[in-house]
């Protein structure tokens, strides 16, 4: 599979299936691993990075982890391709901006992604649609076991899996659940969620992880600690928190319907109208519009559009995707025009 084949479809995690998928977009788990015998990346020279990359690439491909595996060497990739992979959540922003030999292997469904020479030698990521942490962990654990047969991971009895950044040491695990919370945002109750979540040692981030701002009412809830609790314990903490957040969001939606039905309906239908009619839409605006319409579908106002379509549009209308689809670099005005026409086409074709 080539990168251009990615630009007009999406990974399975955006299908809008799985538990609580009206609010939970996706469940993601990633493990950080380093190989014994090599320094961490900040201390690896280009030659060592190359050695690490070829060793890991070979191991991953020979391990037959997932069918139809694709490998992209980021050192040779264009900036649009890298942007597209970031928008897809197949690599991180840091990985795209890194240097030396590094790459990503991912399966056809894009559920599994293995990042080589990101911040650590290896990052194993599994991402599924909906609130599906147990399944996601099973797959992650399995991949880690398969690779661990061939690779020697840096590990100490005291600190667990040793990572370049001490925030990841221990399990090396980060669990992130992406949730769509428009009603809590509108009613300003979202702050309460942040506070409660923080007390449990969890953290709320924007759509693209660390340091990114929240847009489109999409939030990622993830663990801050990785040491001192087992993988299953960490997962069960998040598993116990998410249903409370989703039921809080549902309550807020109900309250909005009861107390300000007209304003709510107006907001949702205006957004839908804009998506169907606008000729220029900025990347900021589209997130807001999609968010409103997505909630409109969830509360039964709109019934002629699938959640999957909306989930996909969150990703397909991002700058890297539009440029890849168009086959050239575009300035922001051109992107706004193409974005609007792309959305109109997708919504008309229903």
The binding site for other proteins (CB under 8 A) comprises 34, 36-40, 42-43, 45, 47-48, 54, 119, 141, 144-145, 148-149, 152-167, 169-171, 173, 201, 224-231
Nearer to other proteins, 10 or 59 (CB): 59
* Residue with smaller CB distance to other proteins, 62 or 68: 62
Sequence-ordered list of residues with C-beta below 8 angstroms from that of 300, at least 6 positions apart, any chain: none
Minimum CB separation of residue 209 from other proteins in Å reads: 16
* DSSP state letter for 72: E
- As measured in angstroms, the least distance from the Cβ of 159 to other proteins is 5
**Residue 259 Cβ, how far from other proteins at the closest point, in Å?**
41
Least separation, in Å, of the C-beta of 293 and other proteins? 40
- Residue 221's DSSP bridge partners are 177, 204
For the CA atoms of 3, 144, 65, 147, what is the dihedral angle to 10 degrees? 100
Dist. CA 84–CA 97, nearest whole Å: 13
Smallest gap from Cβ 100 to other proteins, in A, equals: 15
Nearer to other proteins by Cβ, of 173 and 221: the residue is 173
Nearest CB to other proteins, comparing residues 37 and 327:
37
DSSP 8-state code for residue 170 = B
List phi, psi (to 5°) of 29.
-130, 135
Pairwise CA distance, residues 197 & 195, whole Å: 5
Q: How many Cβ atoms are within 10 Å of 145's Cβ, its own excluded?
A: 9
Nearest residue (CB) to other proteins, 18 versus 98: 98
Smallest gap from Cβ 60 to other proteins, in A, equals 16
The residue count for the chain: 350
- Name residue 228's beta-bridge partners: none
Task: Let me know: does 249 contact 257? Beta carbons within 8 Å.
Answer: no
- Cβ proximity to other proteins, 139 vs 291, nearer residue: 139
């Amino acid at each position: 599979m080539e990168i251009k084949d990615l630009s007009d479809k999406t990974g399975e995690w955006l299908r809008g299936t799985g538990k609580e998928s009206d609010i939970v977009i996706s469940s993601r788990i990633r493990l950080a691993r380093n190989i014994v015998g090599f320094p961490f990346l900040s201390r690896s020279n280009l030659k060592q990075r190359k050695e690490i990359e070829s060793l890991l690439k070979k191991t991953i491909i020979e391990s037959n982890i997932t069918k139809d595996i694709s490998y992209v060497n980021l050192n040779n990739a264009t900036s649009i391709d890298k942007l597209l992979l970031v928008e897809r959540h197949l690599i991180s922003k840091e990985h795209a901006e890194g240097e030396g030999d590094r790459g990503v292997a991912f399966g056809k469904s894009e559920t599994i992604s293995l990042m080589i020479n990101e911040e650590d030698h290896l990052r194993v990521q599994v991402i599924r649609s909906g609130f599906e942490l147990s399944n996601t962990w099973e797959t992650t654990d399995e991949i880690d076991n398969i690779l661990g047969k061939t690779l020697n991971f840096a590990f100490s009895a005291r600190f667990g899996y040793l990572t370049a950044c001490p925030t990841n040491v221990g399990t090396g695990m980060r669990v992130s659940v992406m949730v769509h919370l428009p009603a809590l945002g509108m009613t300003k109750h979202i702050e309460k969620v942040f506070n409660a979540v923080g007390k449990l040692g969890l953290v709320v981030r924007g759509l693209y992880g660390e340091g990114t701002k929240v847009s489109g009412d999409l939030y990622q809830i993830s663990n801050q600690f990785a040491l001192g609790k087992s993988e299953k314990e960490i997962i069960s903490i998040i598993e116990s928190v998410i249903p409370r957040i989703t039921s809080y969001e549902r309550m807020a939606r109900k309250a909005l319907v009861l107390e300000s039905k007209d304003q709510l309906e107006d907001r949702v239908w205006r957004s839908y109208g804009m998506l169907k009619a606008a000729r220029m839409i900025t990347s900021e605006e589209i997130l807001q519009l999609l968010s409103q319409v997505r909630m409109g579908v969830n509360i039964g106002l709109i019934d002629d559009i699938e959640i999957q379509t909306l989930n996909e549009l969150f990703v397909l209308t991002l700058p890297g995707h539009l440029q890849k689809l168009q086959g050239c670099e575009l300035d922001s005005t051109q992107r706004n025009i193409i974005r609007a026409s792309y959305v109109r086409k997708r919504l008309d074709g229903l």
